[in-house]
Amino acid sequence: MAKGITKRSEDYSRWYTDVIAAAKMADYSPVRGCMVIRPTGYAIWEKMQAGLDKMFKETGHVNAYFPCFIPESFMKKEAEHVEGFAPECAIVTHGGGKKLDEPLYVRPTSETIIWSMYKNWIQSHRDLPILINQWANVVRWEMRTRLFLRTTEFLWQEGHTAHATAEEAEAETRQMLEVYRTFAEEYMAMPVIPGIKTENEKFAGAERTYCIEAMMQDGKALQAGTSHNLGQNFAKAFDVTYQTEAGVREHVWATSWGVSTRLIGALIMTHSDDNGLVVPPKLAPLQTVLVPIWRGDDERAQILERANQLAADWKGKFSYKIDDRDNYRPGWKFNEWEKAGVPIRLEMGPKDLANNVVVMVRRDTGEKEILSQENLTAKISATLDAIQKNLYDNALDFREKNTHTVDTYDEFKERLENESGFYWVHWDGTTETEQRLQAETKATIRLIPLAPEPEPGKCMITGKPSPHRVLVAKAY
Amino acid sequence: MAKGITKRSEDYSRWYTDVIAAAKMADYSPVRGCMVIRPTGYAIWEKMQAGLDKMFKETGHVNAYFPCFIPESFMKKEAEHVEGFAPECAIVTHGGGKKLDEPLYVRPTSETIIWSMYKNWIQSHRDLPILINQWANVVRWEMRTRLFLRTTEFLWQEGHTAHATAEEAEAETRQMLEVYRTFAEEYMAMPVIPGIKTENEKFAGAERTYCIEAMMQDGKALQAGTSHNLGQNFAKAFDVTYQTEAGVREHVWATSWGVSTRLIGALIMTHSDDNGLVVPPKLAPLQTVLVPIWRGDDERAQILERANQLAADWKGKFSYKIDDRDNYRPGWKFNEWEKAGVPIRLEMGPKDLANNVVVMVRRDTGEKEILSQENLTAKISATLDAIQKNLYDNALDFREKNTHTVDTYDEFKERLENESGFYWVHWDGTTETEQRLQAETKATIRLIPLAPEPEPGKCMITGKPSPHRVLVAKAY
């Protein structure tokens, strides 16, 4: 257990918690199931927000803010919705020193409060589409919690759109799934499989839920984002209609889609190693740290002067810090920045100064390289790109190595016992079989592929016909 | 009542609500006292956040996130704090279908939950200072609410810092007051007076509260931001100590400071007019709108082609939109953008095209100017700067015209009846007199100046000695 971090091979779950603690990313709070996101963790969330928000705006969305409280009667207007969410809500019963006439639910998701407002905003086809996103905190009373992955309160974004036609709503749902896929792969360097949830796993109140699923380093699946086609369910529950160009009143079509601070957990579990956090350069709040090495004030002054000269060229190209703290030794600093997941560490001592070089250490591979101080900026930029790509390639390679195709239930159960991972199997399409699978193996159907290869076969459990394979795994 | 907006001179309060409705900035929600911030309003909040966040980071602060729930026992640890806040809290009594052992308060402010964490994070002088800010929603159960100005839930930022010495904490408190003053004046174009709150008006749990006060167009004061020196009150309540360099354990010193979506209300009431919203260019999500004027498809194509040629030079210099919607007439568009407060409107029709000119209309003055299409970009940029300056100058001028110095209580009461505004008066420094003033006139002491001119006089109410004047006004 080097540097206070348990090895993955010893105890994966403990390793995860240790990485978070070592990087000071988050802490449990004194409030049951709620976490504190510390500055190192929050800075990654800010980078995620910036990346996603840009993509949302490029696809025509605007931000707004709706109340965090939802009247109980609103929750009850959509039957499946209340059944799914009410049991896990926090409920405000008193306000301003008095018992409330109607209890307020702290939002677990905002479909109901938002559609109660859309009713006022939508009259004509000219008011459509509405393309709104909200950045907010939400609360779901979880029994078993885990930093970032499952907490009673978490931060997220929730898009809520309103459309004139079913086709537009479906196109929006698919577009946002694609935005999430792009973000996961290009920013988080985390390969994902897009697909459709089963009836049993879909969002409470949706017609159809799309998702992206990623594989963590222990072979388990993690649902990283969902995009729901809500059909006319919420428009009907809140009686939201619009007048078509032809003058007819019709119910509005809806979507909602979201990702949360859970992505930070996914990021950690995809890339980090036994030395601590690893952050892909595109989401690293600090991309490069230069640790100067000196003895005595003269050397200190010389090294820092050169460091600042070199760094003058870095502004606007990548984020950096010169760690000139006097009260810590270089070795301590190396360790700290390693645990914090900074992609590139540069070291420069008196000999390096004399030789006109710096030492570069990559966080992803641990490789050391001695670089000329000439063209250093370009070399750092290129290495940041290389790290981003390498992290993605490694994660994809890992997923491929741990993805299996099996045909019998016995083989499935036996392999699952020994090898966690993704399993492509045949399923008869019934909720009954799905629930039996889960009860007997703790694995779940993660998704039905978006465009499944037609491959008729037999359900591995019941032997009934199956048109194509589905993805099964144990999941977070 | 032109365009659905009541005149300020007729009904100021109704005018305010009408401006918000006409610009689609916010709506009351079905949840008592809670508002919905619509995209136009939220986009201004995003600009405010960006400006403030940059200034916070430049002064060394980082962001983090703490739970929205606070255990009742935590609220009660600081005696003044609980007395001030408990009566206006929303209280969660049930979670996950069960009654909670201990009720949770939805945060009205986060000192207590944050200092319970700082206790774990602070051991040595090397752990200090902690300079953390949080962007969050908070809830205070208000009896009388008003969009943006006073709502049960609102959005804000709250800084919470921890320091080794009283001097550092005081310097931080004053620094953040100065950040707020700069933001109010340079971004919001809203002149403010910085000062110190009376004992009676200070934050519940603070040693000393600094504030900035602005004058609205009806002459009333609005508190636009506060910065609190909390002394060792919260460190003592949560037993947060650190080991000094000399090896002694001492309690930590604290500050907190915040501004909220209330600033959007202040912005509206400072600059808007009888035609609707006016937004200073630095906070305008959309700074320039070009409305093309055409008859028939040929003209449409020609005008839009030129508009796009002109706009090619605007990217990165200011935000703009070419309003090429077919289903609205130019006059309707002019009106809409005027109500939305866009600083500059450009109009371009076939004659303008032939003459190589565009018509520019300033939102602040309504002035029309015919501009050559040559050097148009520079002219627009310069006009945006001029509008920003003009709005500030006008607001300052208005404040000066409505600021009075009076010496007797009779004169004060008589003038206050007829002229709302700021009054510099002598006060004997007692809470008793302060409360009498408020009960009898509904005016309050807004602040004691930061560096008061020594001007010995007599309290206008009791005749007792007063070392200098204080600022009195009716307030939001």
Chain A residues whose beta carbon lies within 8 Å of the beta carbon of residue B155: 65
Specify whether B177 is located in the same domain as B308: no
Q: Do B36 and A65 touch (CB under 8 A)?
A: yes
Q: Provide the domain count of chain A.
A: 3
Specify whether B100 is located in the same domain as B149: yes
Whole-angstrom distance, CA of residue B127 vs CA of residue B143: 42
Specify whether A267 is located in the same domain as A353: no
- Global pTM? 0.96
End-of-domain residue from the set B237, B271, B305: B271
Specify whether A261 is located in the same domain as A308: no
Residue B452 has a pLDDT of 87
Whole-angstrom distance, CA of residue A403 vs CA of residue A220: 11
A127 CB burial (10 A radius; 0-12, 13-18, 19+): middle
**Could you tell me if A415 and A434 are in contact, meaning their C-beta atoms sit under 8 angstroms apart?**
no
CA–CA distances in Å: residue B261 to residues B52, B85, B137, B147, B203:
12, 19, 10, 10, 19
Sort strands A457-458 and B444-449 into parallel, antiparallel or unpaired: unpaired
Whole-angstrom distance, CA of residue B251 vs CA of residue B243: 9
pLDDT in tens, B412-459: 999 999 888 999 999 999 999 999 999 999 999 999 999 888 899 999
Residue A84 has a pLDDT of 87
Instruction: Tell me which DSSP letter residue B391 carries.
Output: H
Specify whether B364 is located in the same domain as B320: yes
Q: Which of B39, B64, B137 sits opposite A39 (nearest CB)?
A: B64
Residue A383 has a pLDDT of 98
Tokens of B238: 């949560």
Q: Residues 6 or more apart from B79 whose CB is under 8 A from it?
A: none
End-of-domain residue from the set A348, A383, A418: A383
End-of-domain residue from the set B322, B347, B381: B381
Distance between B402 CA and the closest CA of chain A, angstroms: 36
pLDDT in tens, B339-358: 999 999 999 999 999 999 99
How far apart are the two ends of chain A, measured CA to CA in Å? Answer: 25
Q: Do B36 and A64 touch (CB under 8 A)?
A: yes
Whole-angstrom distance, CA of residue A212 vs CA of residue A262: 13
Tokens of A23: 């990087």
Q: Indicate whether A164 belongs to any domain.
A: yes
Specify whether A134 is located in the same domain as A84: yes
Q: Indicate whether B131 belongs to any domain.
A: yes
Give the confidence band of A2 by pLDDT, cuts at 50, 70, 90.
low
Give the confidence band of B78 by pLDDT, cuts at 50, 70, 90.
confident
Q: Indicate whether A432 belongs to any domain.
A: yes
Q: Do B29 and A68 touch (CB under 8 A)?
A: no
pLDDT in tens, A200-254: 999 999 999 999 999 999 999 999 999 999 999 999 999 999 999 999 999 999 9
Q: Do B46 and A36 touch (CB under 8 A)?
A: no
Q: Which of A42, A89, A152 sits opposite B65 (nearest CB)?
A: A42
Least confident of A19-23, A81-85, A86-90, B239-243: A81-85
Q: Which residue has the tokens 């996101």?
A: A37
Question: Does the pLDDT at position B138 exceed 50?
Answer: yes
Tokens of A7: 């090895």
Distance between A362 CA and the closest CA of chain B, angstroms: 26
Specify whether B31 is located in the same domain as B81: yes
Give the confidence band of B86 by pLDDT, cuts at 50, 70, 90.
confident
Q: Indicate whether A158 belongs to any domain.
A: yes
Instruction: Tell me which DSSP letter residue A142 carries.
Output: -
Q: Which of B35, B91, B126 sits opposite A92 (nearest CB)?
A: B91
Q: What is the DSSP string of B199-264?
A: TTTS-TT-SEEEEEEEE-TTS-EEEEEEEEEEETHHHHHTT-EEE-TTS-EEEPEEEEEEEETHHH
pLDDT > 70 in chain A, percent:
99
pLDDT in tens, B287-339: 999 999 999 999 999 999 999 999 999 999 999 999 999 989 999 999 999 99
Q: Which of A117, A126, A327 sits opposite B36 (nearest CB)?
A: A117
Contact pairs from chain A to chain B, CB under 8 Å: 156
Domain enclosing residue A452, as ranges = 403-473
Q: Which of A34, A91, A126 sits opposite B327 (nearest CB)?
A: A126
Chain B residues whose beta carbon lies within 8 Å of the beta carbon of residue A124: none
* Residue A254: strand, helix, or coil: strand
**Residue type (1 letter), B211:** C
Q: Which residue has the tokens 């049993």?
A: A200
**Residue type (1 letter), A470:** V
Mean pLDDT of B36-51: 98
Question: Does the pLDDT at position A446 exceed 70?
Answer: yes
Q: Indicate whether B34 belongs to any domain.
A: yes
Residue B150 has a pLDDT of 96
Q: What is the DSSP string of B2-55?
A: GGG---TTT-HHHHHHHHHHHTT-EEE-SSTT-EEE-HHHHHHHHHHHHHHHHH
Q: What are phi and psi of A268, to 5 degrees?
A: -60, -50
Question: Does the pLDDT at position A332 exceed 50?
Answer: yes
Tokens of A26: 């988050």
Q: What is the DSSP string of A13-68?
A: HHHHHHHHHHTT-EEE-SSTT-EEE-HHHHHHHHHHHHHHHHHHHHTT-EE-B--S
Q: Do B93 and A95 touch (CB under 8 A)?
A: no
Distance between A460 CA and the closest CA of chain B, angstroms: 36
Whole-angstrom distance, CA of residue A175 vs CA of residue B377: 36
Q: What are phi and psi of B100, to 5 degrees?
A: -80, 150
Q: Indicate whether A395 belongs to any domain.
A: no
Distance between B228 CA and the closest CA of chain A, angstroms: 22
Q: Which of A35, A62, A137 sits opposite B137 (nearest CB)?
A: A137
Q: Which residues partner with B156 through β-bridges?
A: B136, B260
Chain B residues whose beta carbon lies within 8 Å of the beta carbon of residue A37: 64-65
Please name the residue of chain B whose CA is at the shortest distance from the CA of residue A151.
Answer: B67
From the centroid of its chain, how far is CA A170?
23
Specify whether A159 is located in the same domain as A256: yes
Chain A residues whose beta carbon lies within 8 Å of the beta carbon of residue B61: none
Chain B residues whose beta carbon lies within 8 Å of the beta carbon of residue A104: 31, 90
Mean pLDDT of A138-156: 95
Q: Which of A43, A93, A104 sits opposite B31 (nearest CB)?
A: A104
Distance between B300 CA and the closest CA of chain A, angstroms: 21
**Could you tell me if B450 and B194 are in contact, meaning their C-beta atoms sit under 8 angstroms apart?**
yes
Strand order in the sheet with B130-139: B62-63, B130-139, B153-163, B253-260, B221-231, B208-215, B193-196, B444-449, B469-473, B422-426, B403-405
**Residue type (1 letter), A367:** E
Specify whether A267 is located in the same domain as A291: no
Question: Which of A24, A27, A28, A32 to substitute to test the interface with B, most B CBs within 10 Å?
Answer: A32
CATH number at residue B178: 3.30.930.10
Residue A105 has a pLDDT of 97
CATH number at residue B423: 3.30.110.30
Specify whether B59 is located in the same domain as B190: yes
pLDDT in tens, A414-439: 999 988 999 999 999 999 999 999 99
Task: Give ∠ CA B52-B54-B59 in degrees, rounded to 5.
Answer: 95
**Residue type (1 letter), A471:** L
Specify whether A82 is located in the same domain as A212: yes
**Residue type (1 letter), B304:** L
CATH number at residue B311: 3.40.50.800
Element housing A333 (H / E): helix A330-339
Mean pLDDT, rounded, of chain B: 96
Specify whether B359 is located in the same domain as B299: yes
Residue B1 has a pLDDT of 44
Q: Which of B30, B71, B97 sits opposite A116 (nearest CB)?
A: B30
Q: Do A93 and B93 touch (CB under 8 A)?
A: yes
Chain A residues whose beta carbon lies within 8 Å of the beta carbon of residue B127: none
Q: What are phi and psi of A389, to 5 degrees?
A: -70, -40
Question: Does the pLDDT at position B161 exceed 70?
Answer: yes
Q: Indicate whether A397 belongs to any domain.
A: no
Q: Indicate whether B59 belongs to any domain.
A: yes
Q: Do A95 and B91 touch (CB under 8 A)?
A: yes
Sort strands A457-458 and A465-466 into parallel, antiparallel or unpaired: antiparallel
Chain B residues whose beta carbon lies within 8 Å of the beta carbon of residue A42: 62-65
**Could you tell me if B59 and B275 are in contact, meaning their C-beta atoms sit under 8 angstroms apart?**
no
